[in-house]
Amino acid sequence: MKYLQMLEHENIVRLRQIIHSRPSKSESNQMMGSLYLIFDFLNNDLQGLMNNPSIKFELPHIKCILHQILSGMDYMHSKEVVHRDIKGANILVSNRGLVQIADFGLARDMLPLNKEFNYT
């Protein structure tokens, strides 16, 4: 949640509100309630669109989608956040062609490069 609250970019899903409900008497743990995250609604995910045989992506569509994904990732990286779970199911697409990166459950802060480590 901290990354979703911190990141504001047109190609990253926007967390609009967090709602914490009171615990109900029927819940086993009386100290906990439910947590609801409210996001903007996008109709599709990229994986679902790619698996739909009636949808054919032309080169301009592919370029536009990739440009938006890379724009969102560039912004994340500029804020020193790594997503770590980029896949078609985590790329949301609106009916108007807006692409947003979602699901920051595995996201982490970037670690500084260790200059002594040999990457070869």
pTM value is 0.79
Residues annotated as catalytic are 85
Pick the CATH number of 2-109 from 1.10.510.10, 3.50.4.10, 3.40.710.10, 3.90.550.10: 1.10.510.10
In the structure, what pLDDT confidence band is assigned to residue 92 with cuts at 50, 70 and 90? very high
Tell me how far apart the alpha carbons of residues 115 and 27 are, in angstroms, rounded to a whole number.
51
How long, in residues, is the chain? 120
Tell me how far apart the alpha carbons of residues 28 and 43 are, in angstroms, rounded to a whole number.
35
In the structure, what pLDDT confidence band is assigned to residue 23 with cuts at 50, 70 and 90? confident
Task: Tell me if residue 90 falls in helix, strand or coil.
Answer: helix
Q: Using one digit for the tens of pLDDT, what is the confidence trace for 38-91?
A: 788 899 999 999 999 999 999 999 999 999 999 999 999 999 999 999 999 999
Going from N- to C-terminal start, the domains of the chain cover 2-109
First to last CA, the chain: 35
The alpha carbon of residue 18 and the mean position of all alpha carbons in its chain are separated, in whole angstroms, by: 16
